[in-house]
Amino acid sequence: MSASPAAPVDRRRLIPRTDVVLADARLAGARARAGDDAVKNAIRAAQQQARRGEIGPDGVTDAALAALPASSTTMRAVINATGVVLHTDLGRASLSPAAIEAMATAAGYVDVEYDVTTGTRAPRGRGTLDALRAVVPAAGDVA
């Protein structure tokens, strides 16, 4: 009996599945930044490139990564050398470290109308009102 020649392997079968590429640790940052839908679309586009023979099957993950934006915004930091503190073309005034910290805190779960000490409902904006009363005594009547 003679051995039959091996059938050629269809290179398209070597293209990694979407779930395999998604599991690649190099895509974790892109998934957090751009979201799963955008990453899946980039993977599918790279898989199509591999099917057309434009890239090898082992290049699918790299092509998907290259197609994704490096940042979640198209804006980039610039140096304001105009001498104008609030320049309309350069956006708003820079936030202080305290404001950035407050925004980061507010982006999560916070005690908007809940008093964690008593476990009861509390007035909305009470911290802001307390700060206002501290610097403007006449605001003491504001409820």
Crossing angle of helices 60-67/36-51, nearest 10°? 130
In this structure, are 99 and 63 located in the same domain?
A: no
**Domain end (from 67, 84, 108):** 67
Q: What is the pTM of this model?
A: 0.54
In this structure, are 62 and 20 located in the same domain?
A: yes
pLDDT of residue 132 exceeding 70, the answer is: yes
Within a domain: 87 = no
Neighbours of 132 (CB within 10 A): 15
What range defines the domain where residue 31 resides? 11-67
Q: What is the pLDDT of residues 13-44, one digit of tens each?
A: 899 999 999 999 999 989 988 899 999 999 99
Within a domain: 110 = yes
Within a domain: 60 = yes
pLDDT of residue 86 exceeding 80, the answer is: no
pLDDT of residue 5 exceeding 80, the answer is: no
In this structure, are 16 and 56 located in the same domain?
A: yes
In this structure, are 63 and 107 located in the same domain?
A: no
Interatomic CA distance for residues 63 and 1, integer angstroms? 46
Within a domain: 99 = yes
Alpha-carbon distances of 21 from 46, 50, 124, rounded to whole Å: 10, 13, 46
Question: Phi/psi at 61 (nearest 5 deg)?
Answer: -65, -45
Number of structural domains, the chain? Answer: 2
pLDDT, position 133: 87
Within a domain: 90 = no
Within a domain: 84 = no
Within a domain: 51 = yes
pLDDT of residue 63 exceeding 90, the answer is: yes
Within a domain: 6 = no
Segment 74-88 mean pLDDT: 79
Interatomic CA distance for residues 57 and 42, integer angstroms? 15
